[in-house]
Copies of this chain bind each other. A is one copy, B any other.
Amino acid sequence: MNGTTAQSATAPAVPTKADLIEEFAAIGNAYYQDFAAVAARHGLTSVQAKALAVLVRQPLPMRGIAEQLVCDASNVTGLVDRLETRGLVRREVGASDRRIKIVAATEAGEAAIRAVRADMQTTHQALDLLSDGERSVLFELLTRLRPVLEQKS
């Protein structure tokens, strides 16, 4: 792995942060590929599916969607247009500020993202490799990482 320490074969050295980053990158890319491929089979681009997944968690104004997608706000108009045409999301005028439009996933939108997640067989198969105890450990570690990882860079 890093070769800086000579330990026994049964107790490998602690991985360097670079090792972990590389593994994290590979896992992140592989997950995203499964997500994009399954979304495509369901007639959604990866961006449409990602937007839908975000909106299922909570309704957001146009600019909030842009933040979540890390893209310019101008793109969100067309993106939401296409999702709205297919009945997957709904625009609602903001109550306090009429400039704001709140976008929410419809029932059809929620069903679509549920179907995509259920169909991510590669990811399911990978997680099936773990025992209950390992799943608990992984879940706990990821839950710790998530708040920091979701901050803006």
A-side residues, CB < 8 A to B, are 12, 14-15, 17, 19-38, 50, 53, 69-70, 117, 120-130, 132-139, 141-146, 148-153
Contact = CB atoms under 8 A, between A and B. Distances in A.
Contact of A139 (B19, B50, B130): B19
A142 B27 CA distance: 7
Contacts of A120: 21, 153
A128 B148 CA distance: 10
Closest 9 pairs between A and B when the two form their complex, measured CB to CB = A28-B31, A126-B149, A30-B149, A126-B148, A122-B153, A15-B139, A126-B145, A14-B132, A23-B142
Contacts of A151: 122, 125
A12 B122 CA distance: 27
Contact of A70 (B22, B37, B153): B37
Q: Most chain-B Cβ atoms within 10 A of its Cβ — which of A17, A31, A34, A124?
A: A31
A29 B15 contact: no
